[in-house]
């Protein structure tokens, strides 16, 4: 079940809300167990058998938690092993088999397994719990039902954000719902739904149509169109889901941290990763990079740390070599950027003034965006073939068109280009300018009027989103496959 479906919007969610809020606020436990029940129903709608796998993981985590709280390394190690085991089997086993067949000359057949939806997200979420418990950063959850709710909570179960237990620990045992929070959460949900349905889905048609053509017929211009379209689609798809998750969480009294902060206005690669999928990047920083030594080590060790973390980051997204290459691509960019910044500060810090920095900001923004698009080109094509990866990148810079090139008109994509342009504008620095105008240019009398306009706007885009959902068949969530 996905948030942008009629069954969720007009069946599951209304029944869940009614059942939850009919229970008096003083009966905290019953409300939480109702939310847990509906979370299980939500996941069962897509993965009925794998619910038992998740329940077993929760049981194992709960069983080890007492010893982990006492700082038992054995208990922590065993719990991490059992938590990661399903992820390794379902997501990486065939990848391991394929590479062993190539390297060692084996002929082991692939195992037919369907990967549980959202397994990467909820696995990492459980890991944060046991590691933080071992570090003494949180207290052990003594109610297994509440621990299960932390893992199963349906707003963030399928595609994040990766919620840390410390962030919602108090909300698990209290009822913090209020009229203002519900209205704020509903508004945030509608905005996320519109981002997903009105922009991501429409732009995704461009990606799907071009991707469905023989590669030999895709010229350089269409390759760039496909890559830019995927860049916009992925952002509005994933950030839209995060907005909906944050909004739903707020309705039920949970405050999930922001997962995106206009990543395409970044002026550097490090800036991009402070803005894109924040819960994932901070996970790797706090639980992998820093424990390995981070940047507080000798130069060779630092290079090893960066390469290792980004290779793991790539593998987290998928068991294909293109994801590994995508991760290493960013590792190289980040190391090069650190080197440039070091030289810049060392040689020119007394010469170049802040006005010069502001002057080159548009240039650094453009370069960062282009590098990001190139990275998404590697990311979007699932392949284990290095030659194919090179072909995709070469096609971006071949500066020639192929014989019988496909075109926007022949694919019937004219009507989707405006959505691509809208997505580009709404993810560009224009949004920052608009926000500043709203903050500083509004006179006092406009505030009340703007609230009314805002409500009308939310109702309008919700109705439009529903109309689009009813009238189209293309409605994927890209990050489900990761």
Which range has the worst mean pLDDT, 62-76, 108-122, 231-245, 254-268? 108-122
- pLDDT at res. 159: 78
Q: Give the whole-number percent of the chain exceeding pLDDT 90.
A: 57
Question: What local confidence, expressed as pLDDT, does residue 42 receive?
Answer: 92
Contact 325, 314 (CB under 8 A): yes
Please state, as a whole number, how many other Cβ atoms lie within 10 Å of the Cβ of residue 301. 14
Main-chain phi, psi angles of 473, to 5 degrees = -105, -20
The pLDDT, as a whole number, for residue 340 is 81
Model pLDDT, residue 126: 94
pLDDT in tens, 112-167: 888 888 888 899 999 999 999 999 999 999 999 999 999 999 998 887 789 999 99
pLDDT per position as a tens digit, 45-83: 877 888 898 899 999 999 999 999 999 999 999 999 999
pLDDT reported for residue 358: 64
Q: What pLDDT does 349 receive?
A: 54
Q: What are phi and psi of 20, to 5 degrees?
A: -70, -50
Residue spans of alpha helices (H) in 318-429: 321-348, 354-380, 386-396, 408-411, 417-426
CB atoms within 10 A of CB 315: 18
pLDDT computed for residue 262 by the predictor? 93
Query: What's the chain's average pLDDT?
Result: 87
pLDDT band at 347 (very low <50, low <70, confident <90, very high): low
What's the burial of 289, exposed, middle or buried (CB within 10 Å: 0-12/13-18/19+)? buried
Predicted pLDDT of residue 442: 54
* pLDDT, average across residues 178-202: 94
pLDDT (0 to 100) of residue 451:
78
Counting other chains too, the contacts that 411-416 makes at CB distance below 8 Å and 24 or more residues apart are 411/209, 411/210, 411/213, 412/209, 413/205, 413/206, 413/209, 416/202, 416/203, 416/205, 416/206
pLDDT, tens digit, 9 for 90 and up, residues 376-417: 999 998 888 888 898 888 888 876 665 455 677 777 788 899
Query: Exposed (0-12), middle (13-18) or buried (19+): which is 88, by Cβ within 10 Å?
Result: middle
Q: Indicate the pTM of the whole model.
A: 0.90
| Per-residue model confidence (pLDDT) at position 323 | 94
Residues 309, 284 contacting (CB under 8 angstroms): yes
Q: Average pLDDT, stretch 421-426?
A: 94
Confidence of residue 466 (pLDDT cuts 50, 70, 90): very high
pLDDT category of residue 363 using cuts at 50, 70 and 90 = confident
Which of 420, 468, 472 has the alpha carbon at shortest distance from 235? 420
């Amino acid at each position: 079940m996905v948030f942008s479906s009629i069954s969720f919007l007009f069946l599951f969610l209304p029944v869940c809300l009614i059942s939850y809020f009919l229970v008096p606020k003083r009966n905290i436990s019953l409300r939480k167990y109702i939310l847990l029940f509906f979370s299980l129903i939500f996941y069962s709608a897509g993965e009925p058998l794998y619910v038992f796998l998740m329940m077993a993981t929760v049981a194992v985590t709960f069983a080890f938690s007492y010893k982990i709280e006492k700082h038992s390394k054995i208990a922590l190690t065993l719990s991490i092993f059992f938590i990661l085991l399903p992820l390794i089997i379902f997501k990486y086993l065939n990848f391991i088999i394929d590479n062993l067949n190539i390297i060692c000359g084996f002929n082991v057949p692939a195992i037919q397994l369907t990967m549980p939806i959202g397994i990467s997200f909820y696995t990492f979420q459980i890991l944060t719990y046991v590691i933080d418990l071992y570090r003494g950063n949180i207290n052990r959850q003594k109610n297994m039902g509440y621990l299960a709710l932390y893992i199963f909570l349906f707003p963030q179960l399928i595609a994040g954000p990766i919620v840390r237990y410390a962030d919602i620990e108090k909300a698990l045992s209290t009822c913090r719902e209020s009229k203002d929070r519900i209205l704020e959460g509903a508004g945030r949900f509608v905005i996320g739904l519109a981002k997903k349905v009105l922009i991501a889905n429409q732009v995704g048609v461009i990606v799907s149509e071009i991707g469905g053509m023989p590669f030999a017929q895709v010229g350089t211009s269409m390759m760039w169109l496909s890559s830019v379209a995927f860049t916009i689609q992925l952002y509005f798809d994933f950030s839209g889901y995060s907005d909906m998750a944050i909004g739903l969480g707020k309705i039920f009294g949970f405050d999930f941290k922001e997962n995106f902060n206009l990543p395409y206005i970044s002026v550097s690669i490090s800036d991009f990763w402070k803005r894109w999928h924040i819960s994932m990047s901070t996970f790797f920083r706090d639980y992998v990079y820093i424990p390995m030594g981070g940047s507080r080590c000798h130069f060779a060790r630092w290079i090893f740390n960066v390469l290792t973390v980004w290779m793991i980051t790539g593998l987290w997204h998928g068991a294909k070599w293109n994801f590994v290459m995508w991760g290493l691509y960013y590792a190289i960019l980040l190391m090069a950027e650190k080197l440039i910044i070091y030289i810049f500060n060392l040689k020119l810090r007394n010469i170049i003034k802040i006005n010069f920095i502001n002057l080159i900001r548009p240039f650094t923004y453009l370069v960062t965006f282009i590098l990001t698009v190139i990275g998404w080109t590697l990311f979007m094509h699932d392949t284990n073939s290095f030659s194919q990866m090179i072909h995709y990148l070469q096609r971006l810079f071949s500066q020639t068109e192929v014989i019988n090139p496909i075109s926007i008109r022949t694919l019937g994509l004219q009507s989707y280009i405006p959505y691509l342009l809208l997505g580009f504008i709404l993810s560009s620095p224009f949004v920052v300018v608009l926000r500043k105008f709203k903050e500083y240019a509004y006179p006092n009398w406009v505030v009340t009027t703007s609230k009314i306009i805002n409500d009308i706007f939310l109702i309008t885009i919700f109705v439009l989103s529903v109309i689009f959902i009813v009238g189209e068949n293309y409605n994927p969530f890209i990050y489900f496959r990761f």
